[in-house]
Structure 1
Amino acid sequence: MDSDTEEKLLAVSLLSAAARHDNVAVKNLLRNTSANVQDAETGYTPLHAAIASCGVDEDGTTALSREAAAEETVKILFDNGAIWNDLDKNDETPGCIAYRLGLKNVYRLVVDAGVRAELLLSKLDGIKALEVEDEEDEDENEEEDEENAVDGTDESGARKRQKLEPEAPAEAAGAEPKVGLANDPVSTEPPEDYIDHWDSNADYLRSSLRYTDTTLLDSSSNAVMMDWETDIMGRHAEGLLPTKGLRAMNIGHGMGIVDTKIQTHSPLEHHIVEAHPAVLAHMKKNGWDKKPGVTIHEGRWQDVLPKLIEQGVVLDAIYYDTFAEDYKDLKYLFEECVIGLLDPSGRFGFYNGLGADRRVCYDVYKDVVEIDLLEAGFQTEWEDLPVPQIEWEGVRRPYWNVDVYRLPLCKFVD
């Protein structure tokens, strides 16, 4: 038997054993094959097979009696490196199947495995970043040694971190603020320069935006913000500003929904940080620069906030909702900036769209961010809000696919 045939036979055997919850066979087969093999027809991994085989009885209910057996198989697979979020041919992860079948215990196992994996990846990314910084330091020190040798001085023992220059703002790149007219027709066909995901915040800031009565769209007609978020934004403002006369900041103006809600709480100070020239133009068009107590900070928050910290600005409430940024940006914000701006009794919140394309990812990242916030010194309260029916007309890429919004309210640990 050639090696390819043997590998295929082992894969089929493992998938079958996982589906039967034959844990002895699963353990034996994992000695010679990966826990992440996939069925060519269904795309199932052993995790998918173990969970899906719980099945549905004739009366339409899930056979929960088989869940306990599935739990043990799932644990074995995770112990042997099974990937929690692999997709099958139906675009479902193992967690998606467990949630759909109502297997609460198995679903929790998948979420916990996802949390462990994401935290580990974050740690590894941090280690890699430190290694890159160390290499840059070494290169810089070598250059300094050469310069010092010419000057006759020796400072080779001093370590100095390289200061990274911030990305140039859109204005400096020659981009003109472009604001589309409301209700411009939207083609259903993606343009040749269609962008499904912005790889760089700097690229997004150089792009054009388009406002309609209900939506803010990017240059590819993907939604940046929509008015279905209005009630959610209102609840954020209520949680962050429990009384009037507080000092507030919103990072990312967008359609101005949360800033409008903040205004209803009569803040003593209302700081708005916004970097996109099109949004800034729209803000000024709507008179935000003339509202009493409002201060607009033009630029990326990564550049603006350190200056405000140096100036001794103190805030009672900080809210974050940007576009084309990743979780690592949010993490940097609360680890490095919020702690320098927020009053000891203040409150911090953010738009929680982390993993909102599917329920299992949403639950995983909720736990991940809560753990990271706690490590940074914040305790988090969560409020579940129902998500209304969303109309995606005119929007090419929906960004929400979960029936609940988990609203975070963060305070310093007592």
Structure 2
Amino acid sequence: MASEVQGDHIAKVIRAAIENDTPTLEKCIDQYSFSDCKVVDVQDPETGFSPLHAVISSCRSSVNGNGIKKSDHEDAASSTIRFLLENGAIWNQLDNNDETPGCLAYRLGLLNLYQLMVDAGVRAEMILSRLEEYERMEDEEGDNGEDGQKEPKEEEENVPGNDQLDSMETEDSVVELDGAEQQDVNTSAYLSSTLSLSSNKLLDDQQNGVMMAWESGIMRQSADNLLTAPELRILNIGFGMGIIDSHIQDNPNKPARHYIVEAHPDVLKDMESKGWMSKTGVEVHRGRWQDVLPELAADGETFDAIYFDTFAESYSEFREFFTEHVMALLDQSGRWSFFNGMGADRQISYDVYQKVVEMDLFEAGFEVDWEDVELPKFDQEWEGVRRKYWNIDHYRLPVCKFMD
């Protein structure tokens, strides 16, 4: 009987969302309670729709063959979405079709509603980021012993995927964007894993894609954007398959000095076998960038260009890279870039992280220009790879520099 009552309550909430009936939604929030979620996060058992999904889905009738017709219904939906978000609705909750509300809005061409969901994701990620910073500061203060020395901490766990981050977190939940259970990969696990390298991909021992040959066009354009004149000094963090480093060496504006930081022993062994350690003008630094870069800064090294492409690291580590280390190593007129693979499992996550990065870069004193790069049509590239870490049509290539 209790389950029937709960089912009736869920149906009422979903129906009120479809009808943009915010007074009824407000009453439901005041009167109902669920053991496993908030009222604004209940899900229809048949579709998996949350109230946010339901609101957006109700606008599908406004879509015609020519795009979107502006309607009073869509305006009402915007108000309902704002109401649900203000009451704590999860912006990236998945339905039974593995879609977030934003994914649904994007597919239906409801771009105004999609932008509302992107903005909600940015707010959630920025809040989470700041909370993590405060927790880290408190942990660091609490880890100082009587002698004032900091005690060792366990490494932060990260989800697998190419480059910095490809799961999106909220205050309420962590959602794996490909809908599958994942085994966490952190830096120490990756560095102790045995890698397999073929002509078109580099995989760890769990068959996660570390780097793949389809990224070559992106890397070539990145090298071209960074090497704007001959005889520059360039630093690349993360060799992987050596794609961007090969483009750097083959670039018409060949650099005077080409530094590479790489930590994985299997990659270093492959670099040795291919002669990278003895290339003229190339200097390879073995170890994690967190250890190598402070040493370079202490030696007074500076660079005209820097590229960053790592694996099994969190966004907070990436933010540490550009807020602390780029500031110390990049020439005032220099440029830097990174592999922009954060949230690339789906379009809304990619759009959210672009905005998050822009805001964090601005706060750190950098401006960024984005260039759209057309990607090849994927066919069999993902065969043998445990998870598809790229699922969108265009790559946004960043070029960063100090603000004037």
The bucket for the TM-score relative to the shorter chain is 0.7 to 0.9
**How far apart, in 1, do the equivalents of 2:298 and 2:236 lie?**
19
Out of 36, 39, 42, the position equivalent to 2:41 is: 36
Question: Aligned residue for 1:26?
Answer: 25
**How far apart, in 2, do the equivalents of 1:322 and 1:298 lie?**
14
Give the AA of the match of 2:118. V
**How far apart, in 1, do the equivalents of 2:375 and 2:344 lie?**
11
Question: Aligned residue for 2:230?
Answer: 244
- Once the two structures are TM-superposed, the CA of residue 297 in structure 1 deviates from its matched residue by 0.2
| TM-score, length of structure 1 as denominator length | 0.84
Question: CA, structure 1 residues 275+385, in 2 after alignment: closer, same or farther (shift >3 Å)?
Answer: same
Secondary structure class of the residue paired with 1:384: strand
Out of 246, 251, 263, the position equivalent to 1:260 is: 246
Q: How does 1:128-143 map to 2 (within 5 A)?
A: 128-137=135-144, 140-141=145-146
Tell whether the 8 Å contact from 2:305 to 2:335 is kept in structure 1 after alignment: yes
Aligned residues: 367
**How far apart, in 2, do the equivalents of 1:30 and 1:95 lie?**
23
Secondary structure class of the residue paired with 2:362: helix
Question: Aligned residue for 1:82?
Answer: 89
**How far apart, in 2, do the equivalents of 1:132 and 1:283 lie?**
38
**How far apart, in 2, do the equivalents of 1:135 and 1:78 lie?**
35
Q: How does 1:113-192 map to 2 (within 5 A)?
A: 113-137=120-144, 140-141=145-146, 144=147, 160=148, 162=150, 164=152
- Once the two structures are TM-superposed, the CA of residue 285 in structure 1 deviates from its matched residue by 0.9
| Structure 1, 65-74 or 254-263: larger mean CA deviation | 65-74
Question: Aligned residue for 1:345?
Answer: 333
Tell whether the 8 Å contact from 1:198 to 1:204 is kept in structure 2 after alignment: no
**How far apart, in 2, do the equivalents of 1:304 and 1:114 lie?**
34
Question: Aligned residue for 1:272?
Answer: 260
Does residue 1:324 correspond to 2:312, yes or no?
A: yes
Structure ID, larger Rg = 1
Secondary structure class of the residue paired with 1:117: helix
- Once the two structures are TM-superposed, the CA of residue 393 in structure 1 deviates from its matched residue by 2.2
CA deviation vs aligned residue, 1:259-292 (integer Å, no higher than 9, x gap): 0111123111100000001111111111111111
Out of 330, 334, 344, the position equivalent to 1:356 is: 344
Question: Aligned residue for 1:310?
Answer: 298
Give the AA of the match of 1:199. V
Out of 310, 314, 333, the position equivalent to 2:321 is: 333
Structure 1 gaps, min length 5: 145-159, 168-194
**How far apart, in 2, do the equivalents of 1:56 and 1:393 lie?**
38
Give the AA of the match of 2:124. A
Give the AA of the match of 2:328. G
Tell whether the 8 Å contact from 1:38 to 1:46 is kept in structure 2 after alignment: yes
Secondary structure class of the residue paired with 1:357: coil
Question: Aligned residue for 1:235?
Answer: 221
**How far apart, in 2, do the equivalents of 1:96 and 1:352 lie?**
20
Give the AA of the match of 2:271. M
Secondary structure class of the residue paired with 1:266: coil
Secondary structure class of the residue paired with 2:31: coil
Question: CA, structure 1 residues 306+164, in 2 after alignment: closer, same or farther (shift >3 Å)?
Answer: farther
Question: Aligned residue for 1:104?
Answer: 111
Structure 2 gaps, min length 5: 33-38, 156-180
Higher relative contact order (CA 8 A, sep 6+): 2
Q: How does 1:48-59 map to 2 (within 5 A)?
A: 48-56=53-61
| Structure 1, 198-207 or 389-398: larger mean CA deviation | 389-398
Question: Aligned residue for 2:200?
Answer: 214
- Once the two structures are TM-superposed, the CA of residue 42 in structure 1 deviates from its matched residue by 1.1
The root-mean-square deviation of aligned C-alpha atoms, in Å, is 2.0
**How far apart, in 1, do the equivalents of 2:60 and 2:126 lie?**
32
Secondary structure class of the residue paired with 1:233: helix
| TM-score, length of structure 2 as denominator length | 0.86
CA deviation vs aligned residue, 1:293-338 (integer Å, no higher than 9, x gap): 1000000001100111111110111100011111111111001111
- Once the two structures are TM-superposed, the CA of residue 132 in structure 1 deviates from its matched residue by 1.3
| Structure 1, 23-32 or 107-116: larger mean CA deviation | 23-32
Out of 369, 384, 388, the position equivalent to 1:381 is: 369
Out of 348, 368, 393, the position equivalent to 2:383 is: 393
Out of 184, 203, 206, the position equivalent to 2:189 is: 203
Tell whether the 8 Å contact from 1:385 to 1:406 is kept in structure 2 after alignment: yes
Percent of aligned positions that are identical = 49
Tell whether the 8 Å contact from 2:63 to 2:108 is kept in structure 1 after alignment: no
Question: CA, structure 1 residues 166+249, in 2 after alignment: closer, same or farther (shift >3 Å)?
Answer: farther
Give the AA of the match of 2:54. A
Give the AA of the match of 1:234. R
Tell whether the 8 Å contact from 1:86 to 1:93 is kept in structure 2 after alignment: yes
Secondary structure class of the residue paired with 2:397: strand
**How far apart, in 1, do the equivalents of 2:154 and 2:117 lie?**
39
- Once the two structures are TM-superposed, the CA of residue 8 in structure 1 deviates from its matched residue by 3.6
